[in-house]
Structure 1
Amino acid sequence: METRGKEKRTCVSMACMPCRNRRSKCDAVMPTCGSCRVHNTEAACHYNPDKDLRTKGALRKLLVDYGKEKRTSDFILRSISQGSEADAAAVVQLLRNNNKPENYSDIQDQVVRMLHSGGNIEVVSGPIPSGESEPMSVLTLDASQTTSSQSRHYGATSNLAFQGDELGLSTNEPAGEVPNWTTVTSDTELIDHLLKVYFTWSHPFHVLFSEECFHHGMGEKQRKYKYCTPLLMNAILAVGCCYSDRPEARKNPNDADTIGDHFFEEAQRLFAEVPDEASLPIVQALGLMSLRETMHNRVSSGRKYISLMSSMVAELGLERPPTPDRRISDAEVEVRKITFWGSFALETASAMWLGRTPSPLKPTGLGHPKLSPDLENVLWKPFGTPNYDGGETELAQPSRKYGVLLQLCFLSGIVNDFLNDFYSSRSGLTFEQSCLHHEKLQKWRVDLPTALQIKDDGITLPQIITLQCVKSAPFGLSVC
Structure 2
Amino acid sequence: MALEARVEFLESRLENALANPTNSSTKGRPEESSSTTFPESKNSVDDLTQAFGCFTLGDTGELRFFGASSNFSIIQNPSLKVASSLEARNRGIAAAQQNPGYFEPSEELQDHLLSLFWRWQNSWQYIVSRESFVRDLYVEKSGRYCTPLLLTAIMALSSRYSSRLELRMDLADPNTAGTIFARQAKIMLDCEYEAPTTSTVQATAILGLYWASIDNEGLGFMYIGMASRMAMNLGLHSDCSHYVAKGLVTQEDVEERSIAFWGIYVLDK
TM-score band (shorter)?
A: 0.5 to 0.7
Aligned-partner residue type, residue 199 of structure 2: P
**Pairwise mapping of residues 51-130 of structure 1 onto structure 2 (< 5 A)?**
120=61
Is 1:207 aligned with 2:126?
yes
Is 1:336 aligned with 2:254?
no
Shift of 1:283: 0.5
The unaligned stretches of length 5 or more in structure 1 are 1-116, 129-181, 349-480
Shift of 1:329: 0.9
Distance in 2, matches of 1:254 and 1:332, equals: 43
Hey, what does 1:347 align to over in structure 2? 268
Shift of 1:290: 0.7
Q: Deviations over 1:373-431 (max 9, x none)?
A: xxxxxxxxxxxxxxxxxxxxxxxxxxxxxxxxxxxxxxxxxxxxxxxxxxxxxxxxxxx
Aligned-partner residue type, residue 249 of structure 2: I
Distance in 2, matches of 1:346 and 1:194, equals: 22
Hey, what does 1:217 align to over in structure 2? 136
Hey, what does 2:114 align to over in structure 1? 195
Shift of 1:271: 0.5
Whose radius of gyration is greater, 1 or 2?
1
Shift of 1:127: 9.0
Distance in 2, matches of 1:214 and 1:330, equals: 15
Distance in 2, matches of 1:235 and 1:340, equals: 17
Q: What is the number of residues matched between the two proteins?
A: 175
Q: Is the 8 A contact 1:278 1:312 kept in 2?
A: yes
Q: Is the 8 A contact 2:241 2:254 kept in 1?
A: no
Distance in 2, matches of 1:225 and 1:334, equals: 17
Residues 201 and 186 of structure 1, relative CA distance in 2, 3 Å threshold? closer
Shift of 1:254: 2.4
Shift of 1:185: 2.6
Shift of 1:316: 1.0
Residues 211 and 323 of structure 1, relative CA distance in 2, 3 Å threshold? closer
Hey, what does 1:178 align to over in structure 2? none
Shift of 1:275: 5.5
Is 1:273 aligned with 2:191?
yes
Hey, what does 1:257 align to over in structure 2? 175
Q: Is the 8 A contact 1:121 1:329 kept in 2?
A: no
SS in 1 for 2:242: coil
Aligned-partner residue type, residue 206 of structure 2: L
Shift of 1:121: 8.8
Q: Deviations over 1:342-399 (max 9, x none)?
A: 1111111xxxxxxxxxxxxxxxxxxxxxxxxxxxxxxxxxxxxxxxxxxxxxxxxxxx
Aligned-partner residue type, residue 137 of structure 2: M
Structure 2 residue corresponding to 1:231, chosen from 149, 156, 162: 149
Aligned-partner residue type, residue 312 of structure 1: M
Shift of 1:224: 2.2
Shift of 1:229: 0.6
Q: Is the 8 A contact 1:290 1:303 kept in 2?
A: yes
Hey, what does 1:304 align to over in structure 2? 222
Shift of 1:310: 0.8
SS in 2 for 1:206: coil
Shift of 1:324: 2.2
| Deviates further, 246-255 or 320-329 | 320-329
Shift of 1:191: 1.2
Shift of 1:323: 5.8
Question: What is the RMSD of the two structures over their aligned residues, measured on CA atoms?
Answer: 2.5
Structure 2 residue corresponding to 1:184, chosen from 99, 103, 108: 103
Is 1:314 aligned with 2:235?
no
Aligned-partner residue type, residue 197 of structure 1: L
**Pairwise mapping of residues 402-413 of structure 1 onto structure 2 (< 5 A)?**
none
Distance in 2, matches of 1:331 and 1:323, equals: 11
Aligned-partner residue type, residue 340 of structure 1: F
Aligned-partner residue type, residue 190 of structure 1: L
Q: Deviations over 1:115-141 (max 9, x none)?
A: xx76x497xxx999xxxxxxxxxxxxx
Distance in 2, matches of 1:207 and 1:121, equals: 21
**TM-score where L is the length of structure 2:** 0.60
Q: Is the 8 A contact 1:250 1:256 kept in 2?
A: yes
Is 1:246 aligned with 2:164?
yes
Distance in 2, matches of 1:188 and 1:324, equals: 40
The unaligned stretches of length 5 or more in structure 2 are 1-58, 64-75, 79-96
Distance in 1, matches of 2:165 and 2:193, equals: 34
**Pairwise mapping of residues 132-143 of structure 1 onto structure 2 (< 5 A)?**
none
Hey, what does 2:49 align to over in structure 1? none
Aligned-partner residue type, residue 333 of structure 1: V
Distance in 2, matches of 1:199 and 1:218, equals: 14
Q: Which has the higher contact order (CA 8 A, sep 6+)?
A: 2
Runs of 4+ in 1 over 4 A off after TM superposition: none
Aligned-partner residue type, residue 337 of structure 1: S
SS in 1 for 2:103: coil
Aligned-partner residue type, residue 205 of structure 1: W
Aligned-partner residue type, residue 128 of structure 2: F
Residues 187 and 323 of structure 1, relative CA distance in 2, 3 Å threshold? closer
